[in-house]
Amino acid sequence: MEKRNIVGADLADISGFVTGHGLPKYLAREIALWVYRRGAKSFDEMTNISKAARTLLDKHFIFKLSPPVKVQVSSDGTKKYLFSSLNNKFIETAYMPDKKRNTLCVSTQVGCKMGCRFCMTARQGLQGQLSAGDILNQILGLPEKDTLTNLVYMGMGEPFDNTDEVLKSLDIITSDYGMAISPRKITVSTIGLIPGMKRFIEHSKCNLAISMHSPFDEERKKLMPVQKLYPIDEIIQLLKASNFEKQRRISFEYILFKGLNDTDAHVKQLARILNGLRCKINLMHFHTIPGSSLTGCDDASIKSFQDKLNDKGIVATVRASRGEDILAACGMLSTGAILGSTAVPNNSPEPAN
């Protein structure tokens, strides 16, 4: 029998083990608390659990937390960690300390198959799905884990192309048997895979960010092939129909590309399609990636676009770039070179779920 890692097991998994072995039911919660809250690194440290139960645990599970194998530190204090996932692939995780908040940007896949034109991870292609344990290990294995205030699922990969494991990890992070982090401190970012979004809306209370980058169909298709399957209008209709914004925050991410999506017509169209939805737009700098013909807007143009949106009644903020000098900023994460991978062509993704 292959032993599973206890890191990544939710309460249902642990309860199944406990009851299956005739152990008292309350032990499931105790075990989970040791793994996710009390900082245990081995079954032997679970001192209020009988030796016999610990021996059984040891027989059925491994307890493996993997620390990062490498760190790079940016001049702005951002740290980019390289983690080896449990199936021996590599992923990157960005830790961004700030005055009031310390945010961790976690990955959900090794690479990505969604083919967004502005993204370095896309060049890598999809090389593996992370398990809930791999996702949680980026938090539990982080040297600064006790300082974290916010979590964003915005690293490598599309979360809703790995929905089961993402939802499981969110459940463990937010539950009182797990890390007990408020869902209001967590944001999941998606390009808009509607089946996964629907499950997320139903099962999670975390915030949602949607990568928009253009309000126009043909233009968004060129930037993000996913638009062919799940148009931005349908995504917005889904959010309006679900009353999602009444309980949680919705934001739209919008990278400003010079001469492409920065015109008054874009401001007008954004105001039109977002009318009636309580949300904000996060304007972002483009972080240039090799071989891309796209060019980012300068600070003044971004400010001007922000003002025009605000004048239309749309809350728009500008996201500060973090970690650009160590390739840790948005859209720059990739472990393709480490893996020596063969990239999946950018123009042929098959968004799944």
Please identify, using beta-carbon distances, which residue of 35 and 119 lies nearer to ligand SF4.
Answer: 119
Q: Cα–Cα distance between 218 and 205 in angstroms, integer?
A: 32
Q: Which is nearer to ligand SF4, 103 or 124 (CB)?
A: 124
The helix, strand and coil proportions of the chain, stated in percent and rounded to the nearest 5, come to 40, 20, 45
**How far apart, in whole angstroms, are the C-alpha atoms of residue 249 and residue 338?**
36
Q: By C-beta, is 68 or 125 nearer to ligand SF4?
A: 125
Rounded least distance, CB 150 to ligand SF4, Å: 19
Annotated catalytic residue 112: no
Binding site for ligand SF4 (CB under 6 A): 112, 114, 116, 119, 121-122, 156-158, 191
2, 45, 92, 219: the active-site residue: 92
Residue among 9 and 156 whose Cβ is closer to ligand SF4: 156
Q: Which of 219, 279, 330, 350 is catalytic?
A: 330
Q: Is 142 exposed, middle or buried (0-12, 13-18, 19+ CB in 10 A)?
A: buried
Closest alpha carbon to 131 in 161, 114, 106, 108: 108
CA distance 311 to 223: 27
Which residue reads 């390009």 in tokens? 191
Q: Give the shortest CB-226-to-ligand SF4 separation in angstroms.
A: 7
Rg (CA), the chain: 21
Least separation in angstroms between CB 66 and ligand SF4: 22
Distance of CA 96 to the CA centre of its chain: 14
Residue 158 falls in the annotated catalytic set = no
Per-residue burial over 332-347, b = 16 or more CB atoms within 10 Å of its CB, e = otherwise: bbbbbebbebeebebe
For residue 151, what are the β-bridge partners?
104, 186
CB 118 to ligand SF4: min, Å: 7
Q: Minimum distance between the CB of residue 160 and ligand SF4, rounded to whole angstroms?
A: 9
Minimum distance between the CB of residue 323 and ligand SF4, rounded to whole angstroms?
Answer: 16
Q: CA 329 to CA 306: how far, in whole Å?
A: 21
CB-nearer residue toward ligand SF4: 57 or 126? 126
What is the residue whose two structure tokens read 């099962």?
203
- Using DSSP's 3-state secondary structure scheme, residue 257 falls into strand
Instruction: Give me the active site residues, please.
Output: 92, 330
